[in-house]
Amino acid sequence: MGPIDTTSAIPEIAPATAGRDLYAVVGNPIAHSKSPFIHARFAEQTGEPVEYRHLLAPRDRFAETVRLFVAAGGLGLNVTVPFKLEAHALANSLSARAAAAGAVNTLRFDGERIYGDNTDGVGLVRDIEANLGMPLADTRILLLGAGGAARGVVLPILERKPRSLTIVNRTAEKAEALVAQFAAAAHEARAALTGGGAGLVGSSPYDLIVNATAGSLDAALPECDARAFGRGTLAYDMMYGAQPTVFMQHAKSLGARAADGLGMLVEQAAESFFVWRAVRPASAPVLAELRTMLARQS
C-alpha cells in the first residue's frame, strides 16, 4: 500500500470520456489499488462502456468527495480503507448483506437513491468454492478476527450451510458480539456458531481457517493453536502479495494447503460489476493475469 494522503484537498473529478460511464475506487491511500486494472478487463470482456479510475478522498471529506463524484456523472464506487463504515452511513438503501456486515464496499447511484452493498463475503465464498474447489457445506470453519473484514463474510459463509463456524478474536467480546448478531442466520443454516478468545480453538484440524486479521500487513501471526491446521485444512489469508504471507507460510509448515486473498479481490470486483451493470464478467482470466503480474514482482 502507498502512503496515506493527509491533505484535505479533493482532487478535481473530470467527467467520463464521451460515450462511457464513470466508476471509481475510493480510498486513502488508493494509488496501489488493482481495481482499475480489474474493471478495465471486465469492461473489455463484456463490451460494457465503463471508465474506471482511482479516487483519492481526504480522510475528513469522504461524503463531499462522493457528492462531487456524482456531480461529475459518476454512477458507482468501490469503497476501500478507511471509508467502508462512512459509506454504510451515507447509503440510504442497503442490501441485506451490507446491513448485516455494517459496512459498505460498493455504492450505486440511482438518482436520489444511494444503494450500498457489501460484496466482500460473496467474493470470499466464490473464490474458495469456485477457484479453490472447496464446497463449504457441512465443513468446520475457523474465522480468525472479528473486525470489519470478518463481519463482512460471516453471513455469506453461513448461507453455504457449514457444519460449524467458530469466530476467534484477541478481544473475545468482539467475537461474542458477532455470534449474537448472526445467531438467527446460524439457526436458519443449522450451523453451530460459537465465538470467543483463542482458547476456544479446538485441538483437531478444521476444514477451513480464514485469517481475517490485518496481521499479515505487519508479518504477525494471529494466535491460533497449531493443532487447528492439518493436511486436510485450507488456510486462507484475506491478504495477498508477491510472496506468500507469513500466515500462509506458517500453515504450510503445519501441513495445510494455503491460499491468499487475490481471488477474493477479483471475485468481489466481479460482484460489484454485476451490481452496477447487471452483467456478470468471467473472473478466471483476470485472476490468472493478476497472478502472472504478481509473479513478475517476486
Sheet (strand 74-79) strand order: 50-56, 21-27, 74-79, 106-110, 113-117, 93-94
Check whether 289 is labelled as a binding-site residue.
Answer: no
Round to whole Å and give the CA distance between 166 and 203: 13
Residue 236, CA distances (Å) to 75, 81, 82, 292 in order? 33, 21, 23, 20
Check whether 147 is labelled as a binding-site residue.
Answer: yes
Check whether 80 is labelled as a binding-site residue.
Answer: yes
Round to whole Å and give the CA distance between 280 and 274: 5
Round to whole Å and give the CA distance between 69 and 78: 12
Check whether 33 is labelled as a binding-site residue.
Answer: yes
Residues in the chain: 298
Residue 75, CA distances (Å) to 83, 163, 175, 198, 207 in order? 18, 40, 36, 43, 40
Residue 13, CA distances (Å) to 65, 116, 148 in order? 9, 22, 29
Check whether 105 is labelled as a binding-site residue.
Answer: yes
Check whether 148 is labelled as a binding-site residue.
Answer: yes
Active site residue 161: no
Check whether 196 is labelled as a binding-site residue.
Answer: no
Pairing of strands 93-94, 113-117: parallel
Active-site residue (options: 53, 84, 97, 151) = 84
Check whether 106 is labelled as a binding-site residue.
Answer: no
Check whether 204 is labelled as a binding-site residue.
Answer: no
Check whether 102 is labelled as a binding-site residue.
Answer: no
Check whether 120 is labelled as a binding-site residue.
Answer: yes
Query: Can you list the alpha helix ranges (DSSP code H) found in 169-229?
Result: 172-181, 183-189
Contact status, residue 25 vs residue 55, Cβ threshold 8 Å: yes
Check whether 174 is labelled as a binding-site residue.
Answer: yes
Check whether 238 is labelled as a binding-site residue.
Answer: yes
Binding-site positions:
33-35, 80, 105, 120, 145-149, 169-174, 238, 240, 261, 268
Binding-site positions for NADP(+):
145-149, 169-174, 238, 261
Binding-site positions for shikimate:
33-35, 80, 105, 120, 240, 268
Which residues are known to be catalytic?
84
